[in-house]
């Protein structure tokens, strides 16, 4: 039970505090004694601006090709034949990476109905049907012309090769006339 004296003291203290003028901090000091411009500069240094993100190309089919790590430890996520960058860039598209108990890194996508889909490397998500496609269910992506030229093999003399004619190259890069039967 509270004594009358203690109750009166609490009431008097409450009236005293209500009448006390509010103490305010001048606006010029800002948060932690910095100006708004200084806070923006600190934030810009802490989180450097990244290049504007582009939606992964490929239309309705989103093909997760894998994750590559360079010698510096930076991750690149490959989707539809293009490196999108690291995991922080994926968040802009409603995607993230997770590593399963089996050690496989999977791409997690947020679907239009606010569900999610997990893709292992090689799998694709068909946005039109909402299905996950295995590699054997997918159509082959078109091969760029420059890729075909790179895989044609060396031609040190610069000679034109006849269409339909296969040229075999030896380990030294020179054409071999005929395969040797032993």
Which range among 32-41, 61-70, 116-125, 172-181 shows the weakest confidence by mean pLDDT? 172-181
How far the first Cα of the chain sits from its last, in Å, is 110
pLDDT digits (tens, 9 = 90+) for 17-30: 666 555 554 554 44
Phi and psi (nearest 5°) for 114?
Answer: 65, 20
Max Cα distance, the chain (Å): 116
Is position 20 within any domain? no
Alpha-carbon span 56 to 70, nearest angstrom? 21
Does the pLDDT of residue 142 top 60, yes or no? no
What sign results for the dihedral spanned by CA atoms 118, 78, 94, 138? negative
pTM beyond 0.95: no
Q: Is 72 part of a structural domain of the chain?
A: yes
User: Looking at the domain assignment, is residue 45 inside a domain?
Assistant: no
Segments forming the whole domain that contains residue 82: 61-135
Return the C-alpha torsion angle 76, 81, 84, 87, nearest 10: -50
The count of domains in the chain is: 1
């Amino acid at each position: 039970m509270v004594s009358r004296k203690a109750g009166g003291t609490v009431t008097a203290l409450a009236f005293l505090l209500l009448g006390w003028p509010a103490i305010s901090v001048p606006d010029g000091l800002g948060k932690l004694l910095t100006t708004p411009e200084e806070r923006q500069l600190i934030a810009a240094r802490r989180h450097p601006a990244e290049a504007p993100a582009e939606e992964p190309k490929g239309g309705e089919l989103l093909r997760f090709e894998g994750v590559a790590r360079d010698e510096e430890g930076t991750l690149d996520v490959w989707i539809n034949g293009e490196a999108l960058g690291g995991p922080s860039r994926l968040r802009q598209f409603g995607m993230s990476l997770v590593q399963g108990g089996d050690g496989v890194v999977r791409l997690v996508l947020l679907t239009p109905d606010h569900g999610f889909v997990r893709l292992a490397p090689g799998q694709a998500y068909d946005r039109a049907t909402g299905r996950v496609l295995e590699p054997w269910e997918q159509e082959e992506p078109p091969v760029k012309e420059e890729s075909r030229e790179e895989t044609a093999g060396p031609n040190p003399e610069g000679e034109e090769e006849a269409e339909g004619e296969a040229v075999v190259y030896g380990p030294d890069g020179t054409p071999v006339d005929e395969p040797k039967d032993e």
